[in-house]
Amino acid sequence: MSKPAVEVKNVSILFNLNKEKIDNIKEYFVKLIKHQLMFTEFWALKDISFTVEKGERLGILGFNGAGKSTLLKTVAGVLKPTKGTVHVEGVIAPLLELGAGFDSNYSGKENIFLYGATMGYSRKYIQERYDEIVEFSELKDFIDVPIKNYSSGMRARLGFAIATAVDPEVLILDEVLSVGDAKFGKKSEAKVRSMFDKGVTVLFVSHNTDQVRRLCDKAIILQKGTIIANGEVNEVCDKYDEMVGKK
């Protein structure tokens, strides 16, 4: 049997939250040396386990602060689990935050090659897809402008265009399809759907159960860092709709 695309086993993430306000680095180190730093332990994820087979699309639902983005960052390798293990098969294309992975001082064009390199693709490979990326992002007139002058919507469009122009085995989307105008949102959703035939595995965070139903075949609900529902997408979305009071 082939290995799952994503396998999360007993994963927990602990954050130490500073109890007091520290205004500068000097004060921080003084308190650190004197063992005067006070922290509150916060478990953002608690004993999370699930698998996503190759080609499956998992929707991740939950209220703000439930641990959804923390989970995606852990799967993408941005965060290391305090406990447990994460294993991912193949190339990951993570779209976690607007502009994450971009260098603000570089132009859009330079960031296309930079982002591609972080995903493990050669300059030649990205060059072959460069025109497609620019056309999809609709940023031809701004492609030589530094990213720091882009709006959040422009950064999201460019990041999405890069991630979906290459051929990732695992695509991680954190609320990305809800960013920008309605026209681009529909275009982005259509692009993701077109990747299904290639067998891409998708992890998709959204509060929009209608969109999760369209894009995913499985779903989970996170609540206070734990999974409270895991199964077929319509059953899980029905439960979430009840939780939020949606008729």
Decide if pLDDT at 232 tops 80.
yes
Q: Which residue has the tokens 């193949």?
A: 90
Give the side-chain half-sphere CA count within 13 A for 61.
Answer: 30
The mean-pLDDT minimum among 81-90, 129-138, 190-199 falls in: 190-199
Do 102 and 147 touch, CB atoms closer than 8 A? yes
Quote the tokens at residue 81: 């689990």
pLDDT of residue 58: 97
* Average pLDDT rounded to a whole number, residues 2-25: 80
- Greatest extent of the chain over all pairs of C-alpha atoms, in Å: 59
Whole-angstrom Cα distance, residue 159 to residue 168?
Answer: 14
CA 105 to chain centre: 23
pLDDT of residue 143: 96
pLDDT, mean over the chain: 86
pLDDT of residue 87: 96
In tens, the pLDDT along 167-195 reads 789 988 887 666 556 778 788 888 888 88
Residue 236 φ/ψ, nearest 5 degrees: -70, -40
pLDDT of residue 160: 84
pLDDT over 90 percentage in the chain: 52
pLDDT of residue 105: 93
pLDDT of residue 32: 58
pLDDT of residue 178: 63
* Average pLDDT rounded to a whole number, residues 139-163: 90
**83-88 and 6-18: which strand pairing?**
antiparallel
Q: Which residue has the tokens 């994820």?
A: 45
Decide if pLDDT at 246 tops 90.
no
Beta bridge partners of 51: 7
Is pLDDT larger for residue 247 or for residue 130? 130
Q: What share of the chain is helix, strand, coil (3-state, %, to 5)?
A: 40, 25, 30
DSSP secondary structure letter of residue 148: G
Whole-angstrom Cα distance, residue 247 to residue 240?
Answer: 11
Domains and CATH numbers, the chain: 6-90+169-244 (3.40.50.300), 103-166 (no CATH)
Decide if pLDDT at 238 tops 90.
yes
pLDDT of residue 121: 83
* Average pLDDT rounded to a whole number, residues 67-77: 92
In tens, the pLDDT along 86-111 reads 999 988 887 776 556 788 899 999 99
Cα Rg for the chain, rounded, in angstroms?
A: 20
Burial of residue 95 (number of CB atoms within 10 Å: 0-12, 13-18, 19+)? buried
Do 161 and 65 touch, CB atoms closer than 8 A? no
pLDDT of residue 110: 96
The mean-pLDDT minimum among 49-53, 57-61, 133-137, 191-195 falls in: 191-195
- Residue 225 vs residues 177, 207, 239: alpha-carbon distances, Å: 23, 16, 17
Decide if pLDDT at 17 tops 90.
no
Whole-angstrom Cα distance, residue 40 to residue 173?
Answer: 30
**What is the model's pTM?**
0.79
Give the 3-state secondary structure of residue 63: coil
Is pLDDT larger for residue 10 or for residue 32? 10
pLDDT of residue 79: 92
